[in-house]
Amino acid sequence: MRVYLAGPDVFLPDPVARGVALKAICARHGLTGVFPLDVPAVQPASWAGLPEWRRIALCNEAHIRACDALIANLTPFRGPSADVGTVFELGFMRALGRPVFGWSATAEPFADRTRRLYPTHRDGSVWRDAEELTVESFGCNDNLMIDGAVLASGGTLEVDDLPPERRWTDLGLFERCVVRAAAVLATRGGEGDISVSDVHIAEEGP
Amino acid sequence: MRVYLAGPDVFLPDPVARGVALKAICARHGLTGVFPLDVPAVQPASWAGLPEWRRIALCNEAHIRACDALIANLTPFRGPSADVGTVFELGFMRALGRPVFGWSATAEPFADRTRRLYPTHRDGSVWRDAEELTVESFGCNDNLMIDGAVLASGGTLEVDDLPPERRWTDLGLFERCVVRAAAVLATRGGEGDISVSDVHIAEEGP
């Protein structure tokens, strides 16, 4: 089973070593980790003329399509939420109907993190920021689309409070997530989401 | 043509009025806007027992599947990047192979925004934050997965510098994006991405 390893780990000082470490943990539990920096053996010829950043984006999309599941490092990244590149990839895999898993080095709820980082005030039953935008407060780990996708896909979310100096180095939480993912994938055979991907709601007319 | 209107607009003080305004602009240009708060006529019975936030997440996923394209409000939201819920949805639609469009009320490049909001230092050819994580610096509007998806899908990105007090109220930029989307969809017939969705790269063996 191939698992795409989404996360801001690519921004660490030694991302290659990080990828090797993540993959070693995957291998220990019978999974093949695919890291965003992995270079595919063959790329479409049409990509050759594109700038590096576009090739990276296309390559990551192709990696995700070629994996059975995704594990996302959802540790808050420069703000109250996870890295947007990681979240893009999680949404991408969710649309493919395969299991998505997440882990985060903070257990503080999303709403509390937001209110700690941004000035907010109460307006009736909701909290608003300085621009009067509501603070989403459903007790989730991050935006409800993220938590919702993980649950609906059959994945799991592993959260714990790591001390700040260990949040980009400690991989115990990641390994817990890999163990859970391996168990889920062994049962489901990587068949992907069974509850949502084929659901079509009846929309109102135009 | 149905277009899903992703964005932190749902957090505005009067999100229903905002949805009405966005849809009116879409209608003016021949498109049917679908707003995240729209309640589908029929929902799967299995959703009934779920908490509200899970039903919202499933409903938005179903809305996206039922649309021909997506327009995302990528205006930076509580940090240097777009709202993660919006980015999740953009990734979701991108995986479905349909065009994704974006607009943002700031023209300041992503790397500059990040460096303005977070202390950074130079390390050789890259900039790093206080935790030594690299600042992505490809001249993009946001994380490269976002810009890359918009371009690869055949969509467009409309950016402009609106004054802070108008960035959540002025819809001129949104309308420009709708005009571009309508033109693209009229040509392509909403057939979705032609350059990437069927590409399979050759991965290295396990």
* Predicted local confidence at residue B191, as pLDDT: 46
Q: How far apart are CA A70 and CA A34, in angstroms?
A: 9
* Predicted local confidence at residue B44, as pLDDT: 85
Confidence tier at A55 by pLDDT (50, 70, 90)? very high
Collapsed DSSP state (helix, strand, coil) of residue A150: helix
DSSP structural state of residue A128: E
Q: Where are the domains of chain A?
A: 2-109+143-188
Query: A residues 88-127 near B, CB within 8 Å?
Result: 88-96, 114, 117-118
Spell out, as residue ranges, where chain B has pLDDT lower than 70.
Answer: 189-206
CA distances from B118 to A164, B133, B138 (A): 16, 11, 18
Contact present, B53 and A148 (Cβ < 8 Å): yes
Give the amino acid at A116.
R
In this complex, which of A2, A81, A118 lies closest to B84 when CB atoms are compared?
Answer: A81
- The tens digit of pLDDT for each residue in B97-118 reads 999 999 999 999 999 999 999 9
* Predicted local confidence at residue A117, as pLDDT: 97
Classify burial at A190, counting beta carbons within 10 Å of its beta carbon; exposed 0-12, middle 13-18, buried 19 or more: middle
* Predicted local confidence at residue A11, as pLDDT: 98
The reply to whether residue B78 touches residue A80, judged by beta carbons under 8 angstroms, is yes
A16-35: average pLDDT: 98
* Predicted local confidence at residue A189, as pLDDT: 56
Instruction: Sort out which chain A residues have CB atoms less than 8 A from B94's CB and list them.
Output: 61, 88, 92, 95
In this complex, which of A34, A79, A133 lies closest to B8 when CB atoms are compared?
Answer: A133
User: How many helices (DSSP H) and strands (DSSP E) are in chain B?
Assistant: 6, 7
Nearest CA in chain A to B52: A138
Nearest CA in chain B to A26: B206
Query: B residues 28-67 near A, CB within 8 Å?
Result: 32, 34, 38, 40-44, 46, 51-54, 56-66
Q: How far apart are CA A99 and CA A71, in angstroms?
A: 9
Q: How far apart are CA A161 and CA A104, in angstroms?
A: 8
The tally of CA atoms less than 13 A away on the side-chain side of residue A165 is 0
A86-109: average pLDDT: 97
Contact present, A69 and A185 (Cβ < 8 Å): yes
Among all chains, which residue has been given the structure tokens 């939201």? B77
Residue A120 parent element (H or E): strand A120-123
Q: Pick the residue with more confidence: B40 or A183?
A: A183
Instruction: Sort out which chain B residues have CB atoms less than 8 A from A58's CB and list them.
Output: 148, 152, 196, 199
CA distance A179 to chain B (A): 18
Q: How far apart are CA B145 and CA B86, in angstroms?
A: 13
Collapsed DSSP state (helix, strand, coil) of residue B13: coil
Q: For residue B52, which of A14, A79, A139, A49 has the smallest C-alpha distance?
A: A139
**Range name among A34-43, A127-136, A157-166 with the lowest pLDDT average:** A34-43
Which residues, in sequence order, are CB contacts of A77 under 8 Å at separation 6+? A8, A83, A86, B133
Is 50 exceeded by the pLDDT of residue A97? Answer: yes
* Predicted local confidence at residue A40, as pLDDT: 79
Supply the Cα-derived Rg of chain A in whole angstroms: 18
Q: Cα B41 to the chain's mean position, in Å?
A: 25
% of chain B exceeding 90 in pLDDT: 85
Category of A13 on φ-ψ map: left (φ > 0), alpha (ψ -120 to 50) or beta:
alpha
Confidence tier at A205 by pLDDT (50, 70, 90)? very low
* Predicted local confidence at residue B200, as pLDDT: 45
CA distances from A51 to B45, B82, B95, B127, B148 (A): 47, 23, 21, 20, 10
% of chain A exceeding 70 in pLDDT: 91
The structural architecture, per CATH, of the domain A2-109+143-188 is: 3-Layer(aba) Sandwich (3.40)
The structural architecture, per CATH, of the domain B2-110+144-188 is: 3-Layer(aba) Sandwich (3.40)
Collapsed DSSP state (helix, strand, coil) of residue B95: helix
* Predicted local confidence at residue B189, as pLDDT: 56
Q: How far apart are CA A131 and CA B170, in angstroms?
A: 14
Give the amino acid at A157.
L
Phi, psi of B147 (to 5 degrees): -60, -40
Q: A1: which 2 tokens?
A: 């089973």
The reply to whether residue B90 touches residue A91, judged by beta carbons under 8 angstroms, is yes
Is 50 exceeded by the pLDDT of residue A109? Answer: yes
The reply to whether residue A11 touches residue B58, judged by beta carbons under 8 angstroms, is no
Q: Cα A34 to the chain's mean position, in Å?
A: 14
Contact present, B66 and B2 (Cβ < 8 Å): yes
